């Protein structure tokens, strides 16, 4: 929450008093505690990023799908505007393996993968018939023209356009490889057009609205966001509540708090429990506006207990509870960040080198549960190379390799060939197959530690299915051993 001028804690209220009350005749019958005749105040509550960690840098893995790529581009802009370092990686894999327990804390340096499960626009229509009337003339029995109404029917059409976006996103801590969080935001927007000819609402505005909604959810996932709660503030003359409101409107917090306490004391003489509750409600609101949601919650709980039928106190109480929850989350995140910064040493290694983030990116975070990719497990087999993840055997695809202890790790830019040391057990599938062990030519595109990502230049390893004669090029599945032979 925003820090007020005299309170370092987090709830600063933008006191926008809606003094312009639409006074109509119907309001004269309202009680002095009616929500219709009392002004409003707006309280701003600052929330941490929904992911629950301080986000310092984000490296984006390749997006899965056209709509995901467009959303990733917008999210990158929002992150940059908020001062978060942004970079891209060709492929990234969690070094601690898929299924690693979620880590609520981390270095603040994340790798984010974004993809789509649904991105479509659909048009449909229904038909009907509508009765109408028209004036006509005819010659009557007396030979004179007369006017009459004729009923007739026309076909009608209702055209519907619907746009649906369903996305997924995963974030892994760059230092540990642990999964920090995931989200599956979605939105559906639709519109109808009805008439005697078939037409459909345009897709563009619906797509824009759906994209905006999903973008907001993604932004709140990675960035702090502000909630604005508009709440009633009583200015009834009973118990001096109007005086409290006047000081709030003048932005005089000291006088407002003193007046609120006086109001609570004065209302103790009121037989009507609703006014005693309203005075405590106002006192709670003053505390809330001054950045003290815990004291606000105490007073608002008292107001609800005195007047369970009060329609405004529960809403304000819930807002104060959210503010306290947000404060606690912010304190935890600050403590985590301070602990991480301290453990990083004087050079602040874990928060430095934003510009070199893409060069250090090594391996690829699994982009989603449906992608069917496997991450590296452990530190690798001594002296051997295993496949951690593979996009496929085609030219241009990426393959992530884990070099075990003792295996020579190639540098970025090096070229080499991939070959299979054994045959049948490395390939999935059934039936009679003929395997020809060739060499897949590749180039190293990124490396970090013992994890290397290569790009296939020329596919090798032909597999022929003898049952139908089909031929395909394939690499072993994730987890299999493979030979990397450097050129030169």
pLDDT tens digits along 23-52: 222 333 345 676 567 888 888 888 999 998
Q: Give CA–CA dist 285/411, Å, rounded.
A: 62
State the CB neighbour count (10 A cutoff) for residue 328: 11
Sequence-ordered list of residues with C-beta below 8 angstroms from that of 384, at least 6 positions apart, any chain: 404, 407, 481
CA-CA distance, 281 to 277, in Å (whole number)?
6
SS3 242: helix
Write the CATH number of the domain with boundaries 11-48+229-328.
Answer: 1.25.40.10
Fold classified for 57-223: Double Stranded RNA Binding Domain (3.30.160)
**Contact of 38 with 19, CB cutoff 8 Å:** no
Q: Which residue spans of the chain are classified as CATH 3.30.160? A: 57-223
- Confidence band, pLDDT 50/70/90 cuts, at residue 456: confident
Q: Exposed, middle or buried, 262 (CB in 10 Å: 0-12/13-18/19+)?
A: middle
Q: Which residue has the tokens 């009583």?
A: 234
pLDDT of residue 278: 92
pLDDT at residue 75 in the model: 92
State the Cα–Cα distance between residues 442 and 419, nearest whole angstrom.
Answer: 11
Distance CA 436, CA 423 (A): 9
Ranking 285-289, 345-349, 355-359, 451-455 by mean pLDDT, the lowest is 355-359
Delimit the CATH 1.25.40.10 region(s) of the chain: 11-48+229-328
Instruction: Measure the CA–CA gap between 482 and 99, rounded to whole angstroms.
Output: 24
Most confident of 94-108, 304-318, 360-374: 304-318
- What is the rounded distance in angstroms from the CA atom of residue 18 to the CA atom of residue 290? 19
User: Among 24-33, 101-110, 286-295, 472-481, which stretch is predicted with the lowest mean pLDDT?
Assistant: 24-33
- pLDDT score at 4: 40
Measure the CA–CA gap between 114 and 368, rounded to whole angstroms. Answer: 8
Q: Which residues of 196-223 are buried (b: 16+ CB within 10 A; e: fewer)?
A: eeeebbebeebbeebbebbbebbbbbbb
Contact 275, 238 (CB under 8 A): yes
Which 8-state DSSP code applies to residue 364?
Answer: B
Q: Which helix H or strand E contains 46, and what residues bound it? A: strand 40-47
Return mean pLDDT, the chain: 75
CA atoms within 13 A on the CB side of 145: 3
pLDDT at 420 over 90: no
Closest by CA position to 447, among listed 404, 395, 403, 480: 403
**CA 160/CA 60 separation, integer angstroms:** 36
Q: pTM to 2 decimals?
A: 0.57
User: 180, 105 in Cβ contact below 8 A?
Assistant: no
Contact assessment for residue 414 and residue 449, using Cβ atoms and an 8 Å cutoff:
no
Q: How many residues does the chain have?
A: 488
């Amino acid at each position: 929450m925003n820090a007020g001028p005299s309170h370092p804690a987090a709830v600063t209220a933008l006191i926008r008093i809606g003094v312009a009350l639409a006074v109509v005749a119907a309001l004269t019958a309202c009680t002095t505690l009616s929500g219709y005749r009392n002004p409003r105040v707006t309280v701003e509550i600052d929330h941490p990023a929904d992911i629950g960690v301080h986000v310092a840098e984000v490296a984006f893995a390749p997006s899965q799908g056209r709509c995901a790529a467009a959303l990733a581009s917008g999210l990158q802009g929002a992150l940059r505007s908020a001062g978060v370092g942004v970079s891209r990686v060709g492929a990234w894999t969690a070094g601690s393996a898929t299924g690693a327990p979620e880590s609520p804390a981390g270095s603040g340096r994340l790798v984010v993968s974004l993809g789509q499960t649904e991105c479509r626009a659909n048009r449909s229509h229904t038909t009907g018939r509508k009765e109408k009337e028209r004036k006509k003339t005819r010659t009557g029995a007396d030979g004179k023209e007369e006017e009459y109404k004729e009923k007739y029917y026309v076909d009608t059409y209702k055209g519907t356009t619907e746009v649906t976006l369903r996305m997924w996103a995963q974030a892994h801590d760059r230092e540990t490889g642990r999964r920090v969080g995931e989200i599956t935001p979605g939105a559906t927007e639709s519109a109808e057009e009805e008439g005697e000819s078939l037409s459909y609402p345009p897709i563009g505005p619906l797509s824009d609205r759906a994209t905006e909604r999903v973008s907001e959810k993604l932004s709140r996932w990675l960035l702090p966001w502000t909630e604005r709660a508009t709440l009633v503030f009583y200015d009834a003359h009973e118990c001096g509540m109007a005086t409290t409101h006047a000081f709030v409107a003048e932005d005089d917090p000291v006088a407002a708090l003193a007046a609120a306490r006086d109001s609570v004391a004065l209302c103790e003489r009121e037989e009507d429990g609703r006014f005693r509750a309203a005075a405590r409600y106002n006192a709670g609101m003053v505390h809330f506006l001054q950045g003290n949601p815990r004291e606000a919650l105490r007073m608002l709980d008292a107001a609800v207990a005195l007047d369970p039928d009060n329609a405004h106190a529960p809403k304000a109480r819930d807002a104060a509870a959210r503010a306290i929850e947000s404060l606690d989350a912010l304190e935890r995140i600050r403590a985590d960040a301070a602990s991480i910064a301290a453990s990083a040493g004087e050079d602040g290694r874990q928060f430095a080198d934003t510009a070199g983030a893409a060069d250090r990116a090594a391996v690829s975070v699994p982009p989603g549960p449906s992608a069917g990719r496997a991450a590296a497990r452990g530190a690798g087999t001594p002296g051997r190379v295993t496949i951690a993840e593979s996009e496929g055997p085609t030219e241009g695809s990426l393959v992530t390799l884990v070099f075990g202890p003792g295996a020579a790790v190639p540098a970025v830019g090096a070229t080499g060939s991939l070959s299979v040391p054994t045959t049948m057990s490395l390939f999935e599938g059934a039936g009679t197959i003929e395997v020809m062990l060739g060499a897949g030519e590749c180039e190293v595109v990124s490396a970090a530690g013992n994890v290397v990502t290569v790009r296939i230049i020329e596919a090798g390893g032909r597999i022929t299915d003898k049952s139908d004669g089909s031929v395909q090029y394939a690499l072993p599945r994730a987890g299999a051993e493979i030979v990397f032979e450097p050129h030169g």
